[in-house]
A and B are shown apart, each in its own frame.
Chain A
Amino acid sequence: MTGTERPSPALLRGLTQTRMSRRSVLRGAGAVGGAAAVSALLAACGIQGTSSSSSSGSKQIDWTSWWAKQKKAGVLDFANWPLYIDQDDNGNSASLAAFTKKTGIKVNYKEVIQANDSFYAKISPLLKNGQSIGYDLIVMTNGWELTELIDNGWVAQLDQSKIPNFKANADRTVLSPSYDPGAAHSMVWQTGFTGLAYNEKLTGGPITSFEDLLDPKFAGHIGMFSDTTELGSAALLALGVEPTQSTHADWKKAAAWLKKVQPGVVKFYDQGYTDALQNGDIWISQAWSGDIYQVQAGGHEEIKYVTPKEGQMMWHDNMLIPITAEHPLDALTWMDYYYQPAVAGVIEDYVNYVCPVPAAKEYILKTLDDPAVANSPLVFPSTSDLADSHEFYVYKDYDDYQTWNSTFNPIVQS
């Protein structure tokens, strides 16, 4: 039996020998494919830059006629960050529903933005090629990526005649931000502060200054942000340097200061620092005001937010219309619609960052009857809080950004 089951090795060899072995087929195919790939890439010979492609062209766009051509489509594809609009337990937003009822524009709301850099990496190749990114409205923080979007001409200039609510109700701090003078391309969705937060039970007393980060008794219990823009800006404040006016020499000094803090740092966070504060993994951390508000509202009153005496950073998340948007007019309609106290109030009552519409305070207090939010200095900051707040440095070009990054990156990555 065994003899018939298995053919002899000699027969097998005879059957297989004339064929090409699997490996040599692959080798052959690989060589051909590889050669094709190499020649194709050599022909392309590089990666196209962003400044050369579209910025020169976009400057010639006549925005008045561009907007005149746009028609209401009745659809809005809106990309935003998670938990950044009012939602009930089923994830439905009352303000979006009201908008649809009022204007007839159906909103496809997607929580797809997790981080500025990765989202920018996703959309920039499409924008460079003039392709739609699938969204009419995106929300990005002021920083390198937003500056790039504007400088490359990848976002539409806003039609100033169609935004009366913005003109009437926007806070003066967001009417003409340093990164987008005259709010020509962007409207602020939320503002937030970056200061310090601490767990009062563990620190045993109040934290008041960035200098506390150097206190040996807190060493090994400190959290900082891994985002180099946030990290470097905090160090500039600690040294008393105004970030928007800072020089490369200041950055070096700030990095040297951070080097002194670094041995006491447990981790550089991009997220999850609020859990770490509650768990006691860290005692003090760089923190965003809105996060701490929500932590406190969740019953953790021992977690405190503090504006360090050297000052705090202020950032803005901005609504932008990509130049390839399919329904730009619908997007602009929403942007202006948002700047009504009643609309911004409903959203703010849920989101709890800093509202760009001061009149929403009255609405939250009177109509929504939520004094906790309306009277919170973290949502509606006082003028003195705003005076202690500083804007980020606006990068001049990539080399500038690169210098910043290579100054502060070695502190995060070690």
Chain B
Amino acid sequence: MTTVDTSAIPVAGRGGASASRRAAPYLLAFVGAAWLVVLFLVPLISGLLVSLMTGNPEQGYALTWNWAIYRDVIAGGNVPYLLFLGRALFYGATATVLTIVIGYPMAYFIAFRVSQRWKTPLLSLVMISFLVSFVLRINMWKFLLGNDGPVISALHALPFVPADFHILGTSAAVIGTMTYNDLAFMVLPIYVALERIDPSLHEAARDLYGHRRSVFLRVTLPLSRAGIFSGILLVFIDCAGDPVNSQIMGGTGTTVIGQAIQTAYLTNQQYNVAAALSTILMVALGIILFAYARVFGTDNIEDLV
């Protein structure tokens, strides 16, 4: 055993204790705050400023407070950006609803209907697809759903399927892969929310002669609201801005805002247009989520964080 001279420690500790204790919350918040500022706020503001610039990549872009770009992007020009935005929001919303419809029963089943030792394996199964790059997974779907692929070939064998029936290149294909890709983002938060519900609440509800359906609608569902909301945040935002699903699975009539931003930035090098489109997308998502939070409330979302 080594002997340690402990006499100096309390003295030194006591001297700095009150000062450091007062500073502690700020220090603890510092990393998070710096993170938000550097990686969220600065890009947000610089994005807004870039959208108000005019110029071209050769001559450079100068900040001229060109607010008219928003009018031009939305109303003018020959590329229907507003249609792309509307389409992206529609795809995102549909995919979100589908993930809830599919994901909620999955989460419910894992949380309440299986024994403890099966929960981890089942949750791992939900997440296992993440082990493969999502671009690869979408491409596999493309193979499966191709016109000569196993699915379409099998369907064509049925008498009532029209000869030109196809899946690739349609909105359904894009929404389908979005749903498939983001399902786990819905299942996991709902599972966490359900898992936290005290089983005695269910017992109490039943003791009060609650029918199974009213127990679910009036106890379980409201208590898992936070999980659903987190899931919506993750799935809807991800899908609404995503260019990849549409690029791989879509066709001529499925262009979404994410693809338009990519083209404006990479191909056309119209940084101002790309920034304006991103800002519009962000504002649109912000308004929708704010309205959602207003209507349904977010009080218990903090339970999850």
Query: Is B58 touching A266 in the complex (CB atoms < 8 A)?
Result: no
| Residue from A20, A49, A265, A268 in contact with B25 in the complex, judged by beta carbons closer than 8 Å | A20
Query: Is B168 touching A281 in the complex (CB atoms < 8 A)?
Result: yes
Known: A34-B45, A409-B79, A414-B255. A52 touches B169 (CB 8 A): no
Residues of B within 8 A of A42 (CB): 49, 63
B166 within 8 A of A: yes
Task: Tell which of A22, A34, A281 has the most Cβ of chain B within 10 Å.
Answer: A281
Residues of B within 8 A of A73 (CB): none
Q: State how many angstroms separate the Cβ of B31 from the closest Cβ of chain A.
A: 11
Query: Is A46 touching B59 in the complex (CB atoms < 8 A)?
Result: no
B214 within 8 A of A: no
B271 within 8 A of A: yes
Query: Is B41 touching A30 in the complex (CB atoms < 8 A)?
Result: yes
Interface-forming stretch among A95-103, A181-189, A395-403?
A: A395-403
- The digit string for B37-62, where 1 denotes a CB below 8 A from any CB of A, is 11001100110011001011111111
Q: Give how many A residues have a beta carbon under 8 Å from the other chain's beta carbons.
A: 52
Residues of A within 8 A of B168 (CB): 266-267, 281
B179 within 8 A of A: no
Query: Is A37 touching B46 in the complex (CB atoms < 8 A)?
Result: yes
Residues of B within 8 A of A19 (CB): 25
Residues of A within 8 A of B80 (CB): 414
Query: Is A398 touching B45 in the complex (CB atoms < 8 A)?
Result: no
Known: A268-B252, A281-B147. A47 touches B58 (CB 8 A): no
| Residue from B25, B57, B146 in contact with A276 in the complex, judged by beta carbons closer than 8 Å | B146
B29 within 8 A of A: yes
Query: Which residues of B from 210 to 246 have beta carbons under 8 Å from A?
Result: none
B268 within 8 A of A: yes
Residues of B within 8 A of A278 (CB): 148
| Residue from A50, A270, A405 in contact with B268 in the complex, judged by beta carbons closer than 8 Å | A405
A318 to B56, CA, bound (A): 26
Q: State how many angstroms separate the Cβ of B25 from the closest Cβ of chain A.
A: 6
Query: Is A279 touching B263 in the complex (CB atoms < 8 A)?
Result: no
Q: Give how many B residues have a beta carbon under 8 Å from the other chain's beta carbons.
A: 57
- The digit string for A348-391, where 1 denotes a CB below 8 A from any CB of B, is 00000000000000000000000000000000000000000000
Q: State how many angstroms separate the Cβ of A18 from the closest Cβ of chain B.
A: 10
Known: A51-B59, A220-B164. A41 touches B46 (CB 8 A): yes
Residues of B within 8 A of A46 (CB): 53, 55, 60-63
Residues of A within 8 A of B57 (CB): 49-50, 148, 398
- The digit string for A242-273, where 1 denotes a CB below 8 A from any CB of B, is 00000000000000000000100111101010
Query: Is B259 touching A413 in the complex (CB atoms < 8 A)?
Result: yes
- The digit string for B50-91, where 1 denotes a CB below 8 A from any CB of A, is 100101111111110000000000000111100010000000
Residues of B within 8 A of A52 (CB): 59-60
Residue in B closest to A51 when the chains form the complex, CB atoms: B58
Residues of B within 8 A of A405 (CB): 267-268
Query: Is A266 touching B251 in the complex (CB atoms < 8 A)?
Result: yes
A262 to B79, CA, bound (A): 15
Known: A29-B37, A266-B169, A266-B252. A402 touches B146 (CB 8 A): no
A22 to B33, CA, bound (A): 10
Q: State how many angstroms separate the Cβ of B188 from the closest Cβ of chain A.
A: 24
A77 to B231, CA, bound (A): 45
Query: Is A397 touching B29 in the complex (CB atoms < 8 A)?
Result: no
A406 within 8 A of B: yes
Q: State how many angstroms separate the Cβ of A397 from the closest Cβ of chain B.
A: 6
Query: Is A121 touching B42 in the complex (CB atoms < 8 A)?
Result: no
4 closest Cβ contacts across the A-B interface? A49-B60, A33-B37, A29-B33, A279-B146
Residues in B lying within 8 Å of A, measured CB to CB:
25-26, 29, 32-34, 36-38, 41-42, 45-46, 49-50, 53, 55-63, 77-80, 84, 142-143, 146-149, 164, 166, 168-169, 247-248, 250-253, 255, 259-260, 263, 265-271
Chosen A-B contacts, 13 in total, with CB atoms closer than 8 Å, are A20-B25, A29-B37, A33-B41, A45-B62, A52-B59, A267-B250, A268-B252, A275-B143, A280-B148, A398-B57, A409-B263, A413-B84, A413-B263
- Beyond A50-B60, A121-B266, A405-B268, 7 additional contacts (C-beta under 8 Å) are A41-B46, A42-B63, A47-B53, A49-B61, A267-B250, A276-B146, A409-B79
